[in-house]
Amino acid sequence: PIEPAELAAELLGDDAETWDLACALPRDLLVDLGKRGLLCAEVPTRYGGLGLSSEHNGELTARVGAVCSSARSVLTSQGMAAWTIQRLGSRDQRAAYLPLLTGGGLAAVGFSETGAGSDLSALTTSFTARGDSLVVDGAKVWVTAAAYADHLVIFGRYGDGAAAAVIPASAPGVTIERVPHPLGCRAAGHANITLDAVRVPAAAVLGGGGLSLPLVVTAALSYGRMSVAWGCVGILRACLAAVTEHASVREQFGKPIGEHQLVAGHVAGLVAAEQIATRVCEHASRCWDSGSPEMVTATVLAKYVSSEQAARGAATAVQVLASAGAHDGHVVARAYRDAKLMEIIEGSSELCRLMLARSALGPGR
Ligand code: FAD
């Protein structure tokens, strides 16, 4: 049987430039990828998923990321939604929701708000129990894939604690509006969501709610960080391929530019960046697969290192291709814009550094 990574790359084809310029992915392609279990490939087979390990899914994610960071962003959101349901949901909720996500339904995850970016303890979206119903009020911003989503996993305050709930995107009171002109991952369907007295069954609250906010958001964010980190490996692989090809064929001063030592130095830097990102991701995924207590810190490290390497590596790639890569839609131009955003999402580089320092300094710091 064809490898999931191979299959995903084949289905994506070579239209990423067109999608970037059009700021849209074909919805039927996303649904097809979803139905084949490729958008949340770690979901166990009993729920219709592929049951891949974190490392195997990482390679799939890198492969998708090398082709199209917008598609990879949709994959990250779908995977985060599935992981949140797996981690926080009851057995009945897993059985009800996960097959939707492996059956062609698309999902997005909303935690950020205007006043709650890095500091999620400031979030104000509220869940209120009213008999058998849950009433949701609030507004989420910059939710990746929300423009395509059928299901929204929304984080909010619930009683004295926090919770996540699964809300149909079509529920009365839900408004989804595209973020205009995003810097990168332009086809990822980022949107702002308003939830105005949205009423869903109380059973939509994953695990019954009443959990601590850090516990609720860490489940989703950890998966998102791992996925973004592997996506950055893909960005670096795409940049390395574009750079080695260009540096071998483009001649200036009577020889291929790759034979000029300063350009060769850029190539070597990209080789190192790709290796560093791959190794740190492999380590983190192995921690996930073995259930190591190091998992959370290894994931933060992977996201931090991979995104910084990708942002720097993509800038190097644009430098080497020069005018040949300096137009919107070109693989290195997309990488340059897309990678920058990876240093911001799922915990910015600064937040990752604080978490790494805290982990090194010990509890209470
Ligand atoms: P702020 O929190 O305002 O931070 C601004 C700057 O201050 C940053 O450099 C930050 O690192 C720094 N900073 C903040 N606090 C500290 C501190 N304590 N110490 C040091 N530095 C600090 N949200 C969702 O809910 N779902 C999504 O799917 C989603 N997708 C996104 C996709 C993209 C492309 C983007 C750009 C954003 C997305 N977001 C999403 C929102 C994202 O999670 C936030 O942008 C991110 O958490 C940062 O919040 P902020 O933009 O408000 O920046």
Summarize pLDDT for 229-269 with one digit per residue, the tens: 999 999 999 999 999 999 999 999 999 999 999 999 999 99
Q: Tell how far the Cα of 96 is from the centroid of ligand 1, in angstroms.
A: 32
- Copy the structure tokens of residue 127: 């869940």
The ipTM (two decimal places) reads 0.99
The preferred substitution site among 70, 78, 118, 308 for testing ligand 1, maximizing ligand atoms within 8 Å of CB, is: 118
For the Cβ of 100 lying below 6 angstroms from any atom of ligand 1, the answer is no
For the Cβ of 117 lying below 6 angstroms from any atom of ligand 1, the answer is yes
Among 1-10, 34-43, 173-182, the minimum mean pLDDT is found in 1-10
Band of the pLDDT at 163, cuts 50, 70, 90? Answer: very high
Give the type of residue at 355: M
For the Cβ of 110 lying below 6 angstroms from any atom of ligand 1, the answer is yes
At 110-144, the pLDDT tens digits run 999 999 999 999 999 999 999 999 999 999 999 99
Position 364 pLDDT exceeds 90: no
- Copy the structure tokens of residue 266: 């850029």
Q: Tell how far the Cα of 142 is from the centroid of ligand 1, in angstroms.
A: 10
Residue 209: predicted pLDDT: 80
Averaged pLDDT for residues 143-162 = 96
The preferred substitution site among 112, 153, 183 for testing ligand 1, maximizing ligand atoms within 8 Å of CB, is: 112
For the Cβ of 299 lying below 6 angstroms from any atom of ligand 1, the answer is no
Averaged pLDDT for residues 87-108 = 97
Position 21 pLDDT exceeds 80: yes
Three-state helix/strand/coil letters over the chain? CCCHHHHHHHHHCCCHHHHHHHCCCCHHHHHHHHHCCCCCCCCCHHHCCCCCCHHHHHHHHHHHHHHCHHHHHHHHHHHHHHHHHHHHCCHHHHHHHHHHHCCCCCEEEECCECCECCCHHHCCCEEEEECCEEEEEEEEEEECCCCCCCEEEEEEEECCEEEEEEEECCCCCEEEEECCCCCCCCCCCCEEEEEEEEEEEHHHEHHHCCECHHHHHHHHHHHHHHHHHHHHHHHHHHHHHHHHHHHHHCEECCEEHHHCHHHHHHHHHHHHHHHHHHHHHHHHHHHHHHCCCCHHHHHHHHHHHHHHHHHHHHHHHHHHHHHHHCCCCCHHHHHHHHHHHHCCCCCCHHHHHHHHHHHHHCCCC
Burial of 319 per CB tally in 10 Å (0-12, 13-18, 19+): middle
Position 19 pLDDT exceeds 80: yes
Band of the pLDDT at 210, cuts 50, 70, 90? Answer: confident
| Integer angstrom CA distances of residue 326 from 39, 314, 321 | 31, 12, 8
Select from 37, 9, 79, 34 the least CA-distant residue to 238: 9
For the Cβ of 54 lying below 6 angstroms from any atom of ligand 1, the answer is no
Residue 197: predicted pLDDT: 98
Residue 365: predicted pLDDT: 59
Residue 46: predicted pLDDT: 97
Select from 200, 182, 204, 203 the least CA-distant residue to 191: 182
Position 1 pLDDT exceeds 80: no
List the domains of the chain with CATH numbers.
4-101 (1.10.540.10), 107-211 (2.40.110.10), 214-361 (1.20.140.10)
Averaged pLDDT for residues 317-321 = 98
Calpha distance 217→205 (Å, rounded)? 14
For the Cβ of 153 lying below 6 angstroms from any atom of ligand 1, the answer is no
Position 207 pLDDT exceeds 90: no
For the Cβ of 345 lying below 6 angstroms from any atom of ligand 1, the answer is yes
> Could you tell me whether strands 133-143 and 191-201 are parallel, antiparallel, or unpaired per DSSP bridges?
antiparallel
Q: Tell how far the Cα of 112 is from the centroid of ligand 1, in angstroms.
A: 8
Ligand 1 atom nearest residue 77's Cα: 28
Averaged pLDDT for residues 56-60 = 98
Give the type of residue at 177: E
| Integer angstrom CA distances of residue 63 from 251, 302, 315 | 30, 17, 20
The residue whose CA is least distant from atom 5 of ligand 1 is 118
Q: Tell how far the Cα of 126 is from the centroid of ligand 1, in angstroms.
A: 21
Band of the pLDDT at 41, cuts 50, 70, 90? Answer: very high
Mean model confidence pLDDT for the chain: 97
Cβ atoms of 225 and 346 closer than 8 Å: yes
